[in-house]
A and B are shown apart, each in its own frame.
Chain A
Amino acid sequence: METLGIWIAAILTLCIYSFLYRDNPFYRFAEHLLVGMSVGYIIVITIYFGFIPYAWTPIKNAVTDETARLGFLTLIPICMGCLFFARLSSRRAWLIRYPIAILMGISSGIMIPNALQTDIFAQVRGTIDPYSRIGVLSAFEITGAILMVIGVVCTLTYFFFSVEHRGPVNWLSKVGIAFLMIGFGSAFGNTVMGRVALLIQRVDFLINDWIGSIF
């Protein structure tokens, strides 16, 4: 059974890699298999980890257990969710806007404070923080702290949209974009290294696990 699994994995890997040459029936087969199986898998996951624990079980408990009557409150979000099916009727399709509005409102309420905390305030603090220890920092660390402030100020200047980029603003934003590109370059190299590691892992599977199982 394990050998059969290795053969299936190896053949599908080769089918997907055949796309490097051009689109072909083997790639199309693997693509449709992957898409179809992933949809089926997600439906099962949604039923087991979404519908059953959050909708079915609370309602079932509320019906059967007197101490769990509060579970009937789950009917409110369930009804809101059911409004998504309003799309099936052209006359009632507008009802779908209610659950979408609620969802977007809740998501924004959760995301915006988190973004402020992690993307803004934590970064500002990280930029300023080294200067509280400036007396004990090495020359290298001081240079890093200075570069950090210059980089942040210039990069932020690049993202001013309501100001025309002329004169000093233009120069600052150009330095900012240079900082961005240096950052992107290092991120690119880092990720490519990671992807090459994935390729090596796959080739290792083909050579050792698959071909190795034949000979």
Chain B
Amino acid sequence: MIKTTQWVAICLVLCLSVSTAFSQESAAPSNVTAVDTPNDDGSSITIKWDAAAEDTGISGYQILRQIADGDLEEIGELLPAGTTTYVDSAIEKGNIYTYIVRATTETEATVDSEQTIPVKGTGEWFHTGKTALFIVMLLFSATIVWNIYDARSGKEIFVRRIPGLEAVDEAIGRATEMGRSILYVLGLGSIGRVATIASMTILGQVARRTADYETPLRVPCIDPIVLNVVREVVKTSYIDEGHPDAYNEENIFYLTGSQFAYAAGVDGMMVREKPAAIFLQGSFAAESLILAETGNSIGAIQIAGTDSEHQLPFFIAACDYTLIGEELYAATAYLSKDPMFLGSLKGQDWGKVLILGMIVLGVALEISGINWITTLLQQVN
């Protein structure tokens, strides 16, 4: 015979078991979904689930992944309680995955969610999050194109004086009079850098003058692709000026692809060849002061220009003239007076007007408690 106290004990154990089982069931992550991450190249899947209630005792989540008919495997670290999203960036394109979110309780018990439906990572052609940026870019481009057409129609466009560029003729003339070469350094930038492209257009203008004066122009390059473009640019300038015979391809050469080896090599050239004029135009890094200081020590006239803002102070300190940031981009229009470049410059100025207007209006609106400009900028970013 079972006594009353034993019955009570059995009932208590049963109740406890049922309540524990029930509480574990309720702790299982709910509404677990796995979707292809939008606006990516198909290399990730996003897993989401609902936040568990605070009293469920969940201490963290572990994500489990299964590839097609393979085994379940744990991925990533144990996620802290309160996490509701995980991005699996370690997938292989084309494979189909399913996921389980495993909740771990403070007593180290685990409860698994339902397995998600199969999902595959696919890349998108258009990043919808960048629509606003795309529209702004179209507006900027339209302004520049409109100004280029305006300039081509014969409208005169004013360009303010840029002292560093007015010194270009002086530097070339000095080198010619002294019978020494001109050293043109394009910096470390690859062909993709805007500063390198701007530098090459300035080089084209410098090469036109050196072709006329028959002054040797030496260009050590750090990038083989830049080297090829530079050779084309200089050769074209010499041909345009009617001095193709004066063009010497060996004066434009590859030195090395390593930053400080390049600096050491260019420094060596400076002290041995003693060029009368040195152009440091393009994208520079820590070697800027090494180059500019050596150029200064040999008494060369130095014209520098870069958009690397951290290197500008060194050029300002050690060079005779420095093109600051966008002055480097404006140099082409300034030197060539080509309607296309002039129109582009004017278009960029309109872009700056737009930015100024946005700042002034944005500040006024923010003070008034209206924040749609910052919201718009947030979307663009």
Contact = CB atoms under 8 A, between A and B. Distances in A.
A188 B313 contact: yes
Given A23-B268, A31-B265, A35-B264, A161 B359 contact: no
A156 interface: yes
A163 B358 CA distance: 20
Contact of A108 (B192, B258, B260, B271): B192
B330 interface: yes
B146 interface: no
Contacts of B164: none
B153 interface: no
Contact of B381 (A27, A108, A122, A180): A122
A129 B363 contact: no
B325 A159 contact: yes
B158 interface: yes
B228 A84 contact: yes
Given A42-B257, A122-B381, A128-B366, A161 B345 contact: yes
Given A28-B268, A124-B362, A128-B363, A188 B374 contact: no
Nearest to A122: B381
B359 A127 contact: yes
A187 interface: yes
Contact of A191 (B310, B326, B359, B367): B310
Given A124-B362, A129-B374, A103 B192 contact: yes
A98 B198 CA distance: 20
A130 to B, nearest CB: 8
A187 B133 contact: no
Contact of A104 (B191, B224, B265, B348): B191
A112 interface: yes
Contacts, number: 176
Contacts of B12: none
Interface of B is mostly: helix
Nearest to B345: A161
A63 interface: no
B10 interface: no
Contact of B261 (A34, A129, A185): A34
A91 interface: no
A23 B271 contact: yes
A31 B256 CA distance: 12
Contact of A128 (B191, B324, B325, B362): B362
A35 B265 contact: yes
B374 A128 contact: yes
A113 B313 contact: no
Interface of A: 16, 19, 22-23, 27-28, 30-31, 34-35, 37-39, 41-42, 84, 87, 96-97, 100, 103-104, 106-108, 110-113, 115-117, 120-122, 124-125, 127-129, 131-132, 134, 149, 152-153, 156-157, 159-165, 180, 183-185, 187-188, 191, 195
26 contacts: A23-B271, A31-B268, A34-B265, A39-B256, A96-B228, A103-B191, A107-B192, A111-B192, A111-B194, A121-B133, A121-B377, A122-B381, A124-B362, A128-B362, A128-B373, A132-B366, A134-B367, A153-B360, A156-B355, A156-B356, A157-B356, A159-B352, A162-B158, A162-B159, A164-B158, A191-B310
Given A162-B349, A188-B314, A195-B289, 8 more contacts: A34-B261, A39-B256, A42-B258, A111-B192, A117-B381, A152-B359, A180-B324, A191-B310
Interface of B: 130, 133, 136-137, 140, 157-160, 162, 190-194, 197, 224-225, 228-229, 231-232, 255-258, 260-262, 264-265, 267-268, 271-272, 289, 309-310, 312-314, 316-317, 324-327, 330, 333-334, 345-346, 348-349, 352, 355-356, 358-360, 362-363, 366-367, 371, 373-374, 377-378, 380-381
